[in-house]
């Protein structure tokens, strides 16, 4: 019985060791150290918004390839089979032709289908770039928040340790009747404020980390450690404006609209071109010039359709395909010259030119707005930096003021007042404690405002490098 108990204990100890080793391995696997560049790379690879925009772009490019398929050679076979029976007569008819065609020239307006497909691709490319930029800025904002939260937690924990030591000393002094109870209460209040702030920061850290994991596509159960803070951007105002004008997706979209509108204005001249169609044939080889029905576009293509298998009925019927083969040559030509169109072409050109001028004015206006926006955000960064530095000094002053008041009150005895501090009360200590707590909150918020201002400038510049 004793041996059995000892054996069970050994097995239990072995199982516990195995479980601890497995848990340690899993924890080690889930701990991921991230650098900013790697986090951005993972977000661009795994984020659903970027991937959806990429698929929209792929679909648009595929639609464009479908529209442009007519420019490639077309090859096929056409077969016919007919059979009829009249009494003892059983007639069968076979005919197979090869069909090969190629579009070797096209002039006039760009076909509407191709124009629409090209615009779809261009817009999808801009949306894709916008999704990437938005994802990068989201990662950078989260990175700033997490780093600042970590730093604030570390600083507040150091203060918490000091306050805990101070509270233990205050309790001992109060027991010895060397200080008043309110002095101890003031220390407890200060410690409670720090612990509350730490709890709030830890919850904020958990939420921001979960959001970063979602953006980067990492394992939701992973533990992420950020390796370093994002570096500051050393850039002048002129360079910031130039980068904004180069990177702006709105300006890129407008430039594409202007180029397209210039083409549409130039294409109105084709309305004065004669309506023309022609065909030349030599045996089974055809050369055709055809005009599209929907717009002023002409296709020049070659068609070759020889008979490769033929079995003709002896007796002609209404089902017979005629002619089976084509010999000789043939030329056909059709021309319609418009002499006066009621100024339709001139008015169409005026419409397109007016739209072109509107786009150019919109481009100029957008450029000016971007210049002003960059200047405003650039100055906002400077303002936020100065505010952060001022709040840091204010925090130092409030802390020194609080410690001085606490030290003076701790040294005051019940019967012998210290000269120069007769009017100092514990209400002053509580007020100073509240001012110090508020100064802490304002300073840490000023740091976050500074980081947000820097990232807002980057977003206005649409700069993700």
Quick: pLDDT tens for 214-241. Answer: 999 888 888 888 888 888 888 999 999 9
Most confident range (mean pLDDT) of 208-212, 304-308, 437-441 is: 208-212
Gap between the terminal Cα atoms of the chain: 72
Percent above pLDDT 70 for the chain: 82
Average pLDDT (98-106) is 90
Quick: pLDDT tens for 342-369. Answer: 888 899 999 999 999 999 999 999 999 9
Residue-level pLDDT at 57: 97
CATH architecture of 26-69+102-231+275-284+292-301: Up-down Bundle (1.20)
Residue-level pLDDT at 268: 92
Quick: pLDDT tens for 165-181. Answer: 877 877 766 665 655 66
Quick: pLDDT tens for 281-312. Answer: 888 899 999 988 778 899 999 999 888 877 66
Residue-level pLDDT at 88: 63
Average pLDDT (30-51) is 90
Residue-level pLDDT at 424: 66
- 359's CB contacts (< 8 A; 6+ apart) are 254, 257, 258, 261
Q: How confident is the model at residue 160 (pLDDT cuts 50, 70, 90)?
A: confident
CA-based nearest residue to 113, from 355, 263, 351, 295? 295
Residue-level pLDDT at 4: 42
Q: Between 1.10.1060.10, 1.20.1600.10, 3.40.720.10, 2.40.30.60, what CATH number should domain 236-270+344-465 receive?
A: 1.20.1600.10
Q: How confident is the model at residue 13 (pLDDT cuts 50, 70, 90)?
A: very low
Average pLDDT (121-142) is 96
Statement: residue 21 has pLDDT above 60: no
Most confident range (mean pLDDT) of 9-23, 132-146, 182-196, 280-294 is: 132-146
Q: How confident is the model at residue 20 (pLDDT cuts 50, 70, 90)?
A: very low
- 108's CB contacts (< 8 A; 6+ apart) are 267, 270, 273, 291, 292, 295, 296, 297, 298
Question: Are 249 and 133 within 8 A, CB to CB?
Answer: yes
Residue-level pLDDT at 7: 42
Of 151-160, 263-272, 328-337, 427-436, the poorest mean pLDDT is in 427-436
Residue-level pLDDT at 209: 93
Q: Which has more confidence, 20 or 138?
A: 138
Q: Which has more confidence, 89 or 244?
A: 244
Quick: pLDDT tens for 308-347. Answer: 877 665 445 444 445 566 778 889 988 888 888 888 889 9
Torsion region of 288: left, alpha or beta (phi above 0 gives left; psi -120 to 50 gives alpha): beta
Statement: residue 32 has pLDDT above 80: yes
Statement: residue 1 has pLDDT above 50: no
**Mean of the per-residue pLDDT values of the chain:** 84
Same fold, 26-69+102-231+275-284+292-301 and 236-270+344-465: yes
For residues 79 and 96, give the distance between their C-alpha atoms in angstroms, rounded to a whole number.
Answer: 4
Percent above pLDDT 90 for the chain: 50
Statement: residue 28 has pLDDT above 60: no
Residue-level pLDDT at 6: 47
- pTM exceeds 0.85, yes or no: no
Statement: residue 19 has pLDDT above 70: no
The residue extents of the domains of the chain are 26-69+102-231+275-284+292-301, 236-270+344-465
């Amino acid at each position: 019985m004793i041996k059995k108990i000892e054996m069970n204990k050994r097995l239990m100890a072995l199982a516990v060791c195995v479980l601890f080793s497995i848990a340690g391995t899993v924890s080690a696997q889930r701990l991921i150290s991230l650098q900013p560049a790697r986090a951005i790379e993972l977000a661009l690879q795994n984020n659903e918004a970027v991937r959806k925009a990429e698929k929209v772009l792929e679909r648009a490019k595929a639609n464009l390839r479908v529209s442009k398929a007519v420019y490639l050679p077309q090859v096929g076979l056409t077969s016919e089979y007919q059979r009829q029976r009249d009494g003892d007569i059983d007639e069968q008819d076979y005919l197979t032709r090869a069909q090969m065609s190629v579009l070797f020239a096209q002039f006039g307006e760009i076909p509407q289908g191709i124009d629409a497909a090209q615009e779809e691709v261009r817009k999808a490319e801009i949306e894709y770039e916008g999704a990437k930029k938005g994802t990068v800025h989201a990662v950078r904002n989260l990175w700033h928040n997490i780093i600042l939260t970590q730093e604030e937690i570390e600083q507040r924990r150091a203060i918490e340790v000091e306050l805990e030591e101070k509270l233990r000393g205050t309790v001992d002094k109060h027991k010895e009747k060397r200080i008043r109870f309110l002095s101890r209460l003031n220390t407890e209040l200060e410690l409670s404020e720090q612990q509350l702030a730490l709890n709030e920061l830890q919850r904020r850290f958990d939420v921001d980390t979960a959001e970063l994991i979602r953006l980067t596509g990492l394992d939701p159960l992973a533990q992420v450690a950020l390796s370093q803070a994002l570096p500051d951007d050393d850039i002048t105002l002129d360079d910031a404006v130039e980068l904004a004008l180069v990177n702006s997706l709105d300006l890129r979209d407008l430039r594409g609209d202007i180029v397209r509108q210039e083409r549409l204005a130039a294409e109105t001249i084709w309305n004065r071109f004669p309506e023309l169609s022609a065909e030349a044939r030599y045996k089974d080889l055809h050369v055709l010039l055809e005009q599209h029905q929907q717009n002023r576009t002409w296709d020049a293509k070659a068609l070759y359709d020889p008979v490769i298998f033929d079995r003709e009925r002896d007796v002609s019927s209404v089902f017979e395909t005629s002619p089976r083969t084509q010999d000789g040559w043939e030329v056909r030509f059709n021309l319609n010259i418009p002499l006066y169109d009621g100024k339709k072409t001139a008015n169409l050109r005026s419409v397109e030119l007016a739209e072109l001028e509107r786009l150019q004015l919109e481009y100029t206006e957008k450029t000016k707005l971007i210049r002003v926006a960059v200047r405003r955000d650039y100055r906002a960064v400077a303002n936020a930096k100065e505010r952060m530095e001022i709040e840091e000094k204010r925090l130092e002053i409030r802390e020194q003021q609080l410690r001085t008041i606490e030290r003076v009150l701790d040294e005051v005895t019940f019967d012998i007042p210290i000269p120069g501090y007769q009017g100092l009360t514990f209400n002053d200590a509580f007020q100073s404690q509240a001012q110090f707590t508020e100064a802490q909150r304002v300073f840490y918020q000023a740091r976050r405002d500074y980081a947000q201002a820097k990232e807002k400038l980057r977003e206005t510049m649409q700069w993700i490098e």
